[in-house]
Structure 1
Amino acid sequence: MPLHMLGEGGSRGSTLEATLLKILHSAGGGATQVIGMSATLSNIEDITQFLNADIYSNNFRPVQLTEFVKLTDNIYKVEPKALGSDDQITHDRVVNFEYKPEMVKVDPDHLLGLVLEVVPQNSCLLFCPTKKNCENVALMLCKLMAKYRRELTEVRRVERKALLKELYSDSEGRMCPTLQYTIHYGVAYHHSGLTTDERKLIEEAYSEGILCLLACTSTLAAGVNLPAKRVILRSPYVGQSFLSRSQYKQMVGRAGRAGIDSSGESILVCKATDKNKVVDLLSCPIEKCHSSLVYDGGRGIRSLLLSTIGLKVTTTTEDVFRFTNRSLAHIQQSALNVSMATLCQESLQKLIDSGLVLQTKSLSEEPEKGESVIHSLEVTPLGKATFKGPIDPDFAGLLYADLKQAEESIVLSTHLHLLYLVTPYDVVTTMNPSWHIYFNQYGTFDQSELKVASLIGVPESYVAKRAAMQKSRLKVNEFVVKRFYLTLMLYDLWREKSVWEVAEKFEQPRGFIQNLLSGAASFASCVAHFCQELKEFWAYKDLLGNFVRRLSYCVTIELIPLMEIPGVKLGRARLMFAAGYKTLSSVAAAKPEDLVKAVQYMPRKVAKQIVASSQLVLSEKKDAMMEEVDALVSVPKGVEPTGTMATIPTPAPVTPAPDSQASDING
């Protein structure tokens, strides 16, 4: 477990701390062992106290790392022993590449020279400050290679063509023009704008040496394990923010591949105006890892308290305070400038005011103190539905109100209304609609869809005014307006338009569209479980059954069996269906050679994986059915079998189990 993630802020760090707290509480006598690692922790004492842990610390690095800084065309070596002094960087050499005047205009930072010193024999990661810069840099380098290093296209040529073919197949017959051009040179970009399938294929190709250079954002440094012989930092900035020491160490730490290279090196490119900042960056201590539990006014604490009360880990207010006193946030409350007792009390009160938790008073006899008041805590039906969903407590009231409002006038002649109800709340704040695109969508609506928009609270006249850049006198909820805009993206996906088509139509990165769909499928499953716990929403429980399953794939019913096979996406499922492979059993019985011949763009390697995966899925389904048969056969004579309760199918992106304590803890 990477312990520095505790300080990442937001829900990720908060969820990790909450999970560790529950594990430590449930471990009791120490039956559970937690092992955490990090190379970028400066306040290890706080983490040690929080986990009640022992420390093992070592400076050993299997591959030696040498750090450099580049100013103009000069490269300076970072001297670790001289950090903090005037001699911490010393001149090492000049970039060994002959630049022509026209090249300098295109590549003023001499990136091509730095890259060609290691590729294609070795690998290189080039960190860029923005996603757009990743694509531009990759394209710029390949255009220069086309003029001055054309022979690079001959390296691993067959494998690179196969990679392009697979990318084309997985992208439903579409291809990013930049990737289509750069991959011939062994170059690609890597950031969140890529789809999951694109990222996976690019990462595998890089690991196998088919690609030798990735232009990437800082997220790669904290994510997948993709080491390199040389790491280049295109700029000392991430977006508009100057690099932190922790970010810098995470990036340069990718240099040096154990078992492959005997050494690794990093080069930080900077301008003369940033030299002093860079010098300070090299010598400053790593930032302290602070608890994320208190983010957004205690949002993480509210989720933690609701789940512990729901799980009966804490049953009184005293239990709540004792439990949170073990948190990292409590240990660091002075550094965080918060009072955990106050924040905990406010969070608990908010849960009570929201109708999620019920507090009752009772008297208890204590021999020494006499009678004392005990404040017992338990979750309400709404609170139980919220933590079992799991739904963010801050959105529980809003979700309940949305479902209650729609219950009286839901439009079932179109799926648009249901899609709105499962559009994730947490994505809304980052969305700024394009009013021209928004209004164009209304032009395609039929009467049912216009009725949905009106019932939700986004009338056509309001969108028309905004598209015409005029003020509207109508009072609308901007949160609802933004959320419905996201719903329109999901609606196009639901109608089987590809991620590429929707991304182009709404002018969004295809990675964002795919993440929106994944988030909606996950949230839809949570809403389904939320409704299961509340009897008043029995109708939604029935409505959301097949809807949740189909939303996770956004395909017609007949393609779902193929989409359940790991590695099969929409484009490939359609090709397989057209080739006659329409069921899971037909794929499991096929020979890889037959799949390659029958299905367009099907590489042999992928065909073998698909057949093996389908056989595994089929075997699991067979075992599950046999267990049900055994359960029915074993019913004692004279006892009526109760049968199995129909449950709402859970899509692939999430697997919450309403009756499983383990899933609640992870939630």
Structure 2
Amino acid sequence: MQIADLPIAPALAACYAEKGIRALYPPQADCVEKGLFEGNNLLIAIPTASGKTLVAEMAMHHHIGRGGKCLYIVPLRALANEKYDDFSGKGVRVGIATGDFDRRDDYLGRNDIIVATSEKVDSLLRNKTNWLSEVSLLVLDEVHLIDSPDRGATLEMVITKLRHKNPAMQIIALSATIGNPESLAGWLDAELIESEWRPVDLREGVYYHGCIHFPDNDRPVERRTKHEDLDLCLDTISENGQCLVFVSSRKNAEAFAKRAAAGLKLESPVLTGYAESIRSKADTDTEKTLAACVAHGAAFHHAGLKKEERRIVEQGFREGAIKVISSTPTLAAGLNLPARRVIIRDYLRFNSGEGMVPIPVREYRQMAGRAGRPHLDPYGESVLIAKGEEMIDELFDCYIEAPAEDVRSQCANEAVICSHILSLIATGFAREHDELTAFMEKTFYAASSESPAILKRAVHRVLEFLRESEMILEVGEWIEPTEYGSLVSRLYLNPWSAERIATTLPRVDGYSDIGLLQLLCTTPDMPTLYVRKNDAYYLDKFIAEHGEELWTEIPWHADEGFERSLKTALLLNDWANELGEEMICERYGVGPGDVYAMVESVNWLIHASRQLAGMFAPELAKSIEEMELRMKHGIRPELLPIVRLRGIGRVRARRLFNNGFTSLDAIRSAGPEKLGRILGQGIAAQIFEQLEGKRDAIGEEPADQQSTLFHFG
């Protein structure tokens, strides 16, 4: 089937032709035949790199050509950025939304395609964003994540709400790994397109003792080093291929990258350029190690790195300069980064409370699906490494020949759906018990479960909690939100988090930075750090010296949850007191990316706490507002007046303060020339444009841009 014969805009067809794409792959042609351009719902369950995104893009342009609007939901922010780049520059307006959960973001409605995370869409629904009713096509990327314990319920409820809001909306759901696609397709009223076809042949095998065992043949691998995983990489790289190596931890990823760099010993101006880009902004040993590895053709990739560092690694790999990346499984979760050979070295992973457990088949398939670069590789290889000969057959049985796990709904977990039940009531989706029941009966859980009573009991217990916490009022069958409940829903807070904050704030005796931060770190909305053995002494020392500053009760016995919350709060407190990034990473055993993630999470909770304080503890609101700005920039209180200037972050603000510029008046009095000697003439000119009112008002965000969390200048 030729693309020129399809009902898409000539400009889009020309974009594809420039890339050499003139005909559809067989699974893509199946999608057209099943009603892609006729408005039929489709569940497309085909392997990675088989062209799912192109199918969705053609459908989106078809809708746009008829005056429609398209919403593309992704599970990860990194994937949102990738899709935004993919869809841009093709004659339509593309927007992206991933943060700021209490904003309506009406400006996004000016776009033809909006790429967003499921959490952001849920927030837009709660804030009654008007343009959502105009969505004519909903694309669900990685739809199998509907069974994710962390975010699956949010995706499921978003789908259910949007279908309720826009009954005529077309849905295209994409996935490579679903064990029960018929069940999910039935819920979506979708045509099912299944296929094992791939543009590059995938060979799956198990390596043991110098040989890869494939189902139909064996392939010997030359022993070049003492390390089997490195031998497998060198074998492929010698044939001009690239490798992805999946391991169980960040520490293992970094250790392998160092061995690979020492084994490869590659040198080139391109690699030197990438390495220098990383090294020039490196503040920690982890970043310096990454730069050293990249200089010799190897890299590691995990959530502990800064976004910019991950971007450089991905770009270097796509361009073929970096030959091998070692990674935790996060890299396999949707990012388009194929390689000739994928090596799954570690198929056991540590789970708290369980120890080392096998990874799911679905996770294996996500990793294996990265093998084979279209138009570059004659084939792709996925290789598991057996620890013993008896493991060869077991790995074939448990992974290579095993079906993916079924997708299961998470909507019967009351801890997960509490927030969603409140939002249904607060936004008017359901205002009576019968309406609430009817809505929940539209969920995937209700459609696929043999025990509907479990969901009913979970909803009943959630309503009981919301009523007792005074977030809702019930008068007979009628349910309505209180002012408190409406605020919690708009803030996108877990009601249990909100209740913990709202009941604690009025009881505290005076404001305390660490008291606020540790309280927020005890809520379900805040991820916390693991506590190492050598952390105990420092935590106990802090409690002995500053325990009276905490707002939560200090347990008399070892309590993992309390210790994790306190360790995380101390990290955040150090950030807000301008401790250097390298020192924070060393002190707490984290990477720069972890620091940013923690700050981003808590800053949202501080913002929400300020709103709750206005309702329940007004005397704390100003102090919490100051902490919100301090946490955003990572500054001490004395720098607050200065960071309200655009382009001034923690580094430039401290430099100004230390040179006597302690206020905006002091900066005005000095004049641009004197300021330029400290910050540079360009920055000084920008600052005085703000002070003279020629640029955006100080401290305000432009209406058509998303706020940025970190300002390092």
Q: Normalized against structure 2, the TM-score is what?
A: 0.67
**Structure 2, gaps ≥5 residues long:** 1-139, 351-355, 664-676
Query: What's the counterpart of residue 401 of structure 2?
Result: 283
Q: Which moved more, 1:57-66 or 1:34-43?
A: 57-66
1:289 shift after superposition:
0.6
Aligned to 2:186, the other structure's residue is in SS state helix
- Residue deviations 1:164-184, cap 9 Å, x none? 333233334765453243222
Match of 2:483 among 381, 390, 406: 381
1:357 shift after superposition:
1.8
- Give matches, 1:549-560, under 5 Å: 549-555=629-635, 556-557=639-640, 560=643
CA distance in 2, matches of 1:227, 1:554: 37
Instruction: Give the CA RMSD over aligned residues.
Output: 4.0
Query: What's the counterpart of residue 250 of structure 1?
Result: 366
Match of 2:531 among 418, 421, 432: 432
Query: What's the counterpart of residue 330 of structure 2?
Result: 219
CA distance in 2, matches of 1:337, 1:23: 22
1:570 shift after superposition:
5.8
- Residue deviations 1:174-220, cap 9 Å, x none? 65453243222211111223233332332233223332210011121
Query: What's the counterpart of residue 502 of structure 1?
Result: 584
- Give matches, 1:246-645, under 5 Å: 246-271=362-387, 272-280=389-397, 281-295=399-413, 298-334=414-450, 339-361=454-476, 375-406=477-508, 409-411=509-511, 415-423=513-521, 425-426=523-524, 427=526, 431-432=530-531, 434-441=535-542, 451-453=548-550, 456-458=552-554, 474=556, 479-480=561-562, 482-532=564-614, 534=615, 536-555=616-635, 556-557=639-640, 560=643
Summarize the Cα distance change of 1:569–1:231 in structure 2 as closer, same or farther, 3 Å threshold: farther
Report how many aligned residue pairs link the two structures. 536
Query: Which amino acid in 2 is paired with 1:20?
Result: I
Match of 1:111 among 230, 235, 247: 230
1:43 shift after superposition:
1.4
Tell me if structure 2 keeps the 8 A contact 1:172–1:570: no
1:348 shift after superposition:
2.1
- Give matches, 1:92-241, under 5 Å: 92-95=218-221, 97-99=222-224, 103-104=225-226, 107=227, 109=228, 111-118=230-237, 121-143=240-262, 145=263, 150=265, 152=266, 154=267, 156=268, 158-172=269-283, 176-239=287-350, 240-241=356-357
Tell me if structure 2 keeps the 8 A contact 1:137–1:215: yes
Query: What's the counterpart of residue 41 of structure 1?
Result: 178
Tell me if structure 2 keeps the 8 A contact 1:168–1:174: no
CA distance in 1, matches of 2:601, 2:274: 28
CA distance in 2, matches of 1:573, 1:90: 65
Query: What's the counterpart of residue 637 of structure 1?
Result: none
- CA radius of gyration, larger in: 1
CA distance in 1, matches of 2:242, 2:610: 46
Alignment partner of 1:61 is 2:159: no
- Residue deviations 1:603-662, cap 9 Å, x none? xxxxxxx99xx99x99xx989779x9xxxxxxxxxxxxxxxxxx9x996359xxxxxxxx
Summarize the Cα distance change of 1:388–1:285 in structure 2 as closer, same or farther, 3 Å threshold: same
Tell me if structure 1 keeps the 8 A contact 2:467–2:474: yes
Query: What's the counterpart of residue 72 of structure 1?
Result: 209
CA distance in 1, matches of 2:175, 2:281: 35
Summarize the Cα distance change of 1:442–1:354 in structure 2 as closer, same or farther, 3 Å threshold: closer
Tell me if structure 2 keeps the 8 A contact 1:14–1:292: yes
Tell me if structure 2 keeps the 8 A contact 1:228–1:257: yes
CA distance in 1, matches of 2:610, 2:489: 13
CA distance in 1, matches of 2:278, 2:678: 19
- Residue deviations 1:300-340, cap 9 Å, x none? 22221100001111011001100000001112222x79622
Summarize the Cα distance change of 1:313–1:515 in structure 2 as closer, same or farther, 3 Å threshold: same
CA distance in 1, matches of 2:364, 2:679: 46
Summarize the Cα distance change of 1:531–1:47 in structure 2 as closer, same or farther, 3 Å threshold: farther
1:505 shift after superposition:
1.4
1:160 shift after superposition:
2.7
1:21 shift after superposition:
1.2
- Identical counterparts, % of pairs: 22
Summarize the Cα distance change of 1:478–1:173 in structure 2 as closer, same or farther, 3 Å threshold: closer
Alignment partner of 1:14 is 2:165: no
CA distance in 2, matches of 1:392, 1:265: 43
Query: Which amino acid in 2 is paired with 1:399?
Result: I
1:440 shift after superposition:
4.6
Tell me if structure 2 keeps the 8 A contact 1:255–1:264: yes
Tell me if structure 2 keeps the 8 A contact 1:160–1:183: yes
CA distance in 1, matches of 2:560, 2:357: 29
Summarize the Cα distance change of 1:519–1:162 in structure 2 as closer, same or farther, 3 Å threshold: same
Query: Which amino acid in 2 is paired with 1:117?
Result: T
Summarize the Cα distance change of 1:558–1:252 in structure 2 as closer, same or farther, 3 Å threshold: farther
CA distance in 1, matches of 2:159, 2:404: 23
Aligned to 1:220, the other structure's residue is in SS state helix
Aligned to 2:617, the other structure's residue is in SS state helix
- Residue deviations 1:558-598, cap 9 Å, x none? 77468x66xx986699899999xx99xxxxxxxxxxxxx99
Summarize the Cα distance change of 1:496–1:208 in structure 2 as closer, same or farther, 3 Å threshold: farther
CA distance in 2, matches of 1:168, 1:37: 38
Tell me if structure 1 keeps the 8 A contact 2:425–2:431: yes
Query: Which amino acid in 2 is paired with 1:522?
Result: W
Higher relative contact order (CA 8 A, sep 6+): 1
Aligned to 1:11, the other structure's residue is in SS state coil
Aligned to 2:408, the other structure's residue is in SS state coil
CA distance in 2, matches of 1:482, 1:424: 9
**Structure 1, gaps ≥5 residues long:** 78-88, 362-374, 463-473, 584-596, 601-609, 629-646, 655-667
Summarize the Cα distance change of 1:651–1:541 in structure 2 as closer, same or farther, 3 Å threshold: farther
Summarize the Cα distance change of 1:424–1:350 in structure 2 as closer, same or farther, 3 Å threshold: closer
CA distance in 2, matches of 1:622, 1:305: 47
Aligned to 2:295, the other structure's residue is in SS state helix
Q: Which moved more, 1:479-488 or 1:274-283?
A: 479-488
CA distance in 1, matches of 2:429, 2:695: 35
Aligned to 1:36, the other structure's residue is in SS state strand
Summarize the Cα distance change of 1:175–1:428 in structure 2 as closer, same or farther, 3 Å threshold: closer
Tell me if structure 1 keeps the 8 A contact 2:522–2:561: no
1:498 shift after superposition:
2.5
Tell me if structure 2 keeps the 8 A contact 1:183–1:211: yes
Tell me if structure 2 keeps the 8 A contact 1:193–1:509: yes
Tell me if structure 2 keeps the 8 A contact 1:229–1:265: yes
